[in-house]
């Protein structure tokens, strides 16, 4: 997908871009600190999940199995894209 196609998708509501603020990053830190050690979570996945949760989303779409498995710990339903 080229940049123009991506920008068109954003314009058409295919993608929703949510800014990552300092507050979100603090929430990421708190969420990660409270996770059980057995939960496999990468830093970028934690940012995505907390951003989605804090923005009021109830589900998150991805083809990343690790992100999808971790979604429930953030109150999100993981959906396979």
Please report the pLDDT score of residue 38 as a whole number: 94
Residue 7 included in any domain? no
Residue 67 included in any domain? yes
69: its two tokens: 């498995």
Residue 59 included in any domain? yes
* Strands in the chain per DSSP E: 59-62, 77-80
Q: Considering only CA atoms, which of 14, 13, 53, 16 is closest in space to residue 32? A: 53
Please report the pLDDT score of residue 41 as a whole number: 96
Which pLDDT tens digit goes with each residue over 22-55? 999 999 999 999 999 999 999 999 999 999 999 9
Structurally, the chain folds into a number of domains equal to 1
Domain holding 71, by residue range, is 17-80
Q: How many CA atoms lie within 13 A of 78 on its CB side?
A: 17
Please report the pLDDT score of residue 61 as a whole number: 94
Residue 10 included in any domain? no
Residue 2 included in any domain? no
Q: Which residues pair with 78 in a beta bridge?
A: 60
Please report the pLDDT score of residue 54 as a whole number: 96
Please report the pLDDT score of residue 60 as a whole number: 96
DSSP state of 72: G
Residue 38 included in any domain? yes
């Amino acid at each position: 997908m080229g940049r123009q196609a991506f920008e068109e998708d954003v314009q058409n509501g295919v993608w929703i871009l949510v800014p990552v603020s300092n507050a979100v990053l603090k929430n990421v830190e708190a969420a990660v600190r409270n996770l059980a050690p057995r939960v496999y979570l990468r830093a970028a996945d934690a940012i995505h999940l907390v951003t989605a949760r804090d923005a009021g989303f109830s589900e998150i779409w991805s083809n990343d199995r690790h992100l999808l498995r971790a979604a429930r710990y953030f109150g999100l339903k993981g959906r396979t894209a």
